[in-house]
Structure 1
Amino acid sequence: MTQPQPSVTPKLEEPKFGFNEYAERLNGRAAMIGFIIMVVIEYVTDQGVLSWLGLK
């Protein structure tokens, strides 16, 4: 005896472009990591951002 096939098709998410929740969350996390790395570099080298970029 065969079982009937499911009558509901699973919903697959379409790729999203532009401003969406996932992109904003990823961008925020990358910004936080970059900021922490910048603070650590400033603390270790005892120079500000402008100094180690050669702008001051």
Structure 2
Amino acid sequence: MQTRPSTDLPTVATEYNGVDRNAFLFGSTPQAELWNGRFAMIGFLAYLLWDLAGYSVLRDVLHFIGY
């Protein structure tokens, strides 16, 4: 197995369509999936912090329906 020196690596990380993986592209592209995942992680963390602060939407709904 032959290894390449680190200076031979590409300057931009590319995905299958040959575009920068961090480019903000619309449509069904690998970049869109990466951004969707990032926004989902941010939303999950925001909800977790909101819940830890005592404002739980899920707990309020369950209390409202009688659980």
TM-score normalised by the shorter chain: which range applies?
0.5 to 0.7
* TM-score (structure 2 length as normaliser): 0.46
Give secondary structure in 1 for the equivalent of 2:49.
Answer: helix
2:50 maps to 41
Give secondary structure in 2 for the equivalent of 1:18.
Answer: coil
Q: What is the count of residue pairs matched by the alignment?
A: 38
Give secondary structure in 2 for the equivalent of 1:27.
Answer: helix
Amino acid across the alignment from 1:48? S
Which ranges of structure 2 fall in alignment gaps of 5 or more residues? 1-18, 20-24
1:24 maps to 33
* TM-score (structure 1 length as normaliser): 0.53
Once the two structures are TM-superposed, the CA of residue 49 in structure 1 deviates from its matched residue by 2.3
After the TM superposition, which parts of structure 1 deviate over 4 Å for at least 4 consecutive aligned residues? none
CA distance in 1, matches of 2:26, 2:45: 28
Structure with the greater alpha carbon radius of gyration: 1
Which ranges of structure 1 fall in alignment gaps of 5 or more residues? 1-12
Q: CA RMSD in A?
A: 2.1
